Each structure stands twice: as structure tokens, then as C-alpha cells.
């Protein structure tokens, strides 16, 4: 049954999509900004002809006019502000962009984010925000007394048409970003006295050293033992911190971080992260459409999760390649997905066992009630950030890959350091 026929039978009218009339535009920057935003919308729907007509009209002289540059700034500022209000952090926007648009659009978005944050006092910008902006080198490098578009295009060696095409692609990405939980305060609202990263650098240095050795060794058993030792160190540190701060627990919700995954096998990689979070008293949720995992927990535990998962993903991939049998199936996508899923499952179990053994060696009578209270705080925070969660399984189509992944994880000697 055709779409029009279905509409006639149901009595519904077709809802017209946004349209562009480039010829009707005046020199009003506000109207041009709306047209640019509309072009971004219709580009997500595949209307390349309409977008091209607008770009040709706005850059018909080969260089966008000042009112066009002003309009681009207006549209960009509005859409990036919306993305931030939707819970996206600067690094999230960057990671989404580098997966879906070209390098010119990525660079443009970096400038737009820098411009958005520039008016705010430094003390009112959350330190996670500032760290991410610094990591992206997001600064207002251009002459702010002049329009940004022309200076950016000149720097990137782009023609007016190419620059506007990249702008539309960048804005189309912002339009597609879904609403997420707000896990860090927006610029201008951060509390100046709050300090989030309090993990002892000496402990982190030792953990990083162990994981670096685990990644460099060619012996699977040694790698697993080094990773387990890193887990043990982080658990001991977390126990000491929990006992020390038990009487002065903060009223704030536990923190949250996003970990982005590269294809392929993102589901299996997300499972590995989930297993590590469980071993470190955290909760995780995977947004498969965009390829990232959000982890909720105490800042110290989040540091452990981030360090361990980064290393274990490297180790898991290397082990998969090194232990693959010389067969056609071992080179298949199904085999590798099954391998990584089994590896994640078994490694998660063993990391959890290492953490539990470390807890058992302390004072369980004193520690367990505190950890239970801590877990309740994490659960409340998780429910606050993600009020609606849907559980999803992973389909495995290679028994050989599953067995190989399990055996690779079983070869570890976690108890013998």
C-alpha cells in the first residue's frame, strides 16, 4: 500500500517538510540564519539539491557577504547551545563529529564551542568542561572584532561554497544530537569551590605503569595478572577513601562520564566496559546509535574504570588477533564479535573476583555497610540521569569464537602476583 493511499484511508494529511526559497531571502541576517538552519534540517533528509541551491545563492560572489557570516554565527550559536542544554559535552560533540562529518566541519564545531564558552568567567566553567576544551585546543584564535566565517575559511583554504557546505554539515550534526542526561553543569553555572578529580596521582601512576606493562607484554597470562594487580590497587585505594570519607559524605550526586567507542564490535566493547564498571561499584548505559557508554559512579571509581577499560580494550583486541586459529571462521566478523563478548564476560568475572578478594582482606564488618550505602547513591544517581532504561542483549553467531575468547580469559592467573 502506497504512502498516499494510506493517508487517504486513515484521513491523515501529509505534513509538509521544511522548504527553502533562496531567491526570497533579503539581506536580513536573522532570515538568512533561519534559512541556514533549514538547510541543515533538509540535508539530514537527503535533499542535497535544495542545500546546494542555497549555498550557491549565499556564496554567489565567491565569498560570503558580511550578513551571511553574521547569520552563520547566529545559527551556529543557537544550535550548539541547544546541544549543550541537551547534555552533550564538548568532547562528546567532537567525538560524534569525527565519526560523521569531515575534518573541516569538525574544526568548525571546535571554534563554535570555543566561541560559546568565551563570554563566561573561568571560575563559572566546570573543570571537566575546561579540561575537554583544553584537550580540543578550543580557543578563540580569530579576530573577534571581525566575522569568524571568513577567517576560518581562509585558514582552512576553503572557498565560500566549500565553507558554507561544511557549516551546513556541522549544523546538521548538531540538529541530529538526541537529548541526553545533563551530567556536568553548563558554563556559567559551575560552583567555584567544587573539585572533582581527587585521586592520588601516585596511585594512578602505579596503575598506569601496570597497565602499560600489560599492554606491551606478548604473554597473555602476564597481561591478565598485571591488569588484576591494577584492579587490586584501585580497589584498595577506593576502600581507604570510602572509610576516610564515610562521616563526611558529599550531598551531591555521584558523577558521570562518557566513554566513546570506535567501530567495529561496539556492543562487545560496551559489554567489557560494563563488566569493569560492575567490578568498580559503578553503573553503565550504552547508547548504541552513537557509540558511547555513560558510566555513573564516584570520581575515584570512574578514574579506575576509565584507566582499566582503555587498557583492556587494547589487550582484548591484541589477544583476539594473537590467539585466532588459522581458519576462515577465525577471520570472520561473527567469530571476532563472539570472541570479544566471551572475553569481556570472563574478564569481568575475574576482575570482580579480584575486587571482592581485596574487600574481604579489609574489615568487611565495617566496610560492607558503607559500600552498600555508596551503591545506593550510585543507583539513585543512575536513575536520576536515566529514568527510562531498556535492557538489550548481544547475539552471538560463532561458538568457536566464544570458546576461544573464554579460553583466552581463563589463561589468566589473577591470584598469583
pLDDT in tens, 277-310: 999 999 999 999 999 999 999 888 999 999 999 9
Average pLDDT for 13-24:
55
Cα end-to-end distance, the chain, whole Å: 67
297-351 per-position pLDDT tens digit = 988 899 999 999 999 998 888 888 876 666 677 778 888 888 899 888 888 888 8
Q: What is the pLDDT of residue 243?
A: 78
Is 414 a residue whose pLDDT tops 70? no
Is 3 a residue whose pLDDT tops 50? no
Full-model pTM: 0.82
Q: What is the pLDDT of residue 248?
A: 60
Beta-carbon contacts of residue 355 (< 8 Å; ≥ 6 apart) = 231, 232, 235, 279, 280
CA-nearest of 184, 192, 191 to 85 is 184
CA-nearest of 343, 200, 198, 344 to 276 is 344
Average pLDDT for 392-411:
50
Could you tell me where the beta strands, DSSP code E, fall in 190-306?
A: 255-260, 283-287, 292-297
Q: What is the pLDDT of residue 142?
A: 97
Q: What is the pLDDT of residue 319?
A: 80
CA-nearest of 182, 149, 184, 145 to 168 is 149
Reading the block at residue 104, the C-alpha cell is 573541516
236 or 402, higher pLDDT: 236
> What's the burial of 178, exposed, middle or buried (CB within 10 Å: 0-12/13-18/19+)?
exposed
Is 166 a residue whose pLDDT tops 70? yes
Q: What is the pLDDT of residue 320?
A: 81
> What's the burial of 302, exposed, middle or buried (CB within 10 Å: 0-12/13-18/19+)?
buried
Enumerate the domain spans of the chain: 20-176, 201-410
227-277 per-position pLDDT tens digit = 888 988 988 888 888 777 766 655 566 889 999 999 999 999 999 999 999
Average pLDDT for 214-231:
86
Q: What is the pLDDT of residue 24?
A: 59
Amino acid at each position: 500500500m502506497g504512502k498516499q493511499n494510506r493517508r487517504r484511508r486513515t484521513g491523515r494529511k501529509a505534513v509538509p517538510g521544511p522548504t527553502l526559497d533562496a531567491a526570497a531571502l533579503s539581506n536580513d541576517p536573522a532570515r538568512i540564519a533561519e534559512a541556514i538552519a533549514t538547510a541543515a534540517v533538509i540535508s539530514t533528509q537527503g535533499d542535497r539539491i535544495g542545500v546546494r541551491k542555497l549555498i550557491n545563492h549565499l556564496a554567489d560572489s565567491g565569498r560570503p557577504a558580511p550578513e551571511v557570516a553574521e547569520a552563520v554565527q547566529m545559527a551556529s550559536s543557537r544550535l550548539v547551545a541547544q546541544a549543550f542544554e541537551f547534555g552533550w559535552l564538548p568532547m562528546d560533540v567532537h567525538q560524534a563529529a569525527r565519526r560523521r562529518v569531515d575534518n573541516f566541519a569538525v574544526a568548525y564545531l571546535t571554534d563554535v564551542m570555543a566561541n560559546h564558552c568565551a563570554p563566561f568567567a573561568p571560575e563559572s566553567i566546570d573543570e571537566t568542561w575546561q579540561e575537554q576544551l583544553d584537550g580540543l585546543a578550543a580557543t578563540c584564535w580569530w579576530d573577534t572584532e571581525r566575522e569568524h566565517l571568513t577567517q576560518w575559511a581562509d585558514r582552512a583554504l576553503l572557498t565560500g561554497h566549500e565553507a558554507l557546505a561544511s557549516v551546513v554539515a556541522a549544523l546538521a550534526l548538531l540538529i541530529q544530537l538526541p537529548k541526553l542526561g545533563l551530567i556536568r553543569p553548563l558554563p556559567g553555572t559551575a560552583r567555584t569551590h567544587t573539585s572533582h578529580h581527587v585521586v592520588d596521582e601516585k596511585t594512578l601512576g602505579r596503575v598506569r605503569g601496570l597497565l602499560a606493562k600489560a599492554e606491551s607484554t606478548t604473554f597473555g597470562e602476564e597481561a591478565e595478572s598485571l591488569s588484576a594487580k591494577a584492579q587490586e590497587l584501585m580497589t584498595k585505594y577506593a576502600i581507604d577513601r570510602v572509610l576516610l570519607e564515610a562521616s563526611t559524605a558529599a550531598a551531591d550526586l555521584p558523577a558521570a562520564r562518557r566513554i566513546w567507542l570506535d567501530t567495529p564490535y561496539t556492543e562487545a566493547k560496551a559489554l567489557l566496559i560494563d563488566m569493569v564498571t560492575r567490578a568498580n561499584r559503578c553503573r553503565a548505559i550504552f547508547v548504541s546509535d552513537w557509540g558511547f557508554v555513560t558510566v555513573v559512579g564516584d570520581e575515584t571509581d570512574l578514574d579506575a574504570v576509565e584507566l582499566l577499560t582503555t587498557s583492556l580494550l587494547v589487550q582484548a583486541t591484541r589477544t583476539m588477533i594473537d590467539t585466532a586459529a588459522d581458519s576462515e571462521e577465525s577471520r570472520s566478523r561473527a567469530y571476532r564479535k563472539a570472541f570479544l563478548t566471551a572475553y569481556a564476560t570472563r574478564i569481568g568475572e575475574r576482575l570482580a573476583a579480584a575486587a571482592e578478594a581485596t574487600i574481604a582482606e579489609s574489615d568487611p564488618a565495617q566496610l560492607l555497610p558503607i559500600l552498600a550505602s555508596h551503591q545506593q547513591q550510585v543507583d539513585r544517581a543512575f536513575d536520576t540521569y536515566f529514568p527510562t532504561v531498556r535492557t538489550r542483549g548481544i547475539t552471538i553467531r560463532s561458538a568457536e569464537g566464544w570458546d576461544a575468547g573464554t579460553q583466552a580469559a581463563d589463561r589468566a592467573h589473577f591470584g598469583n602476583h
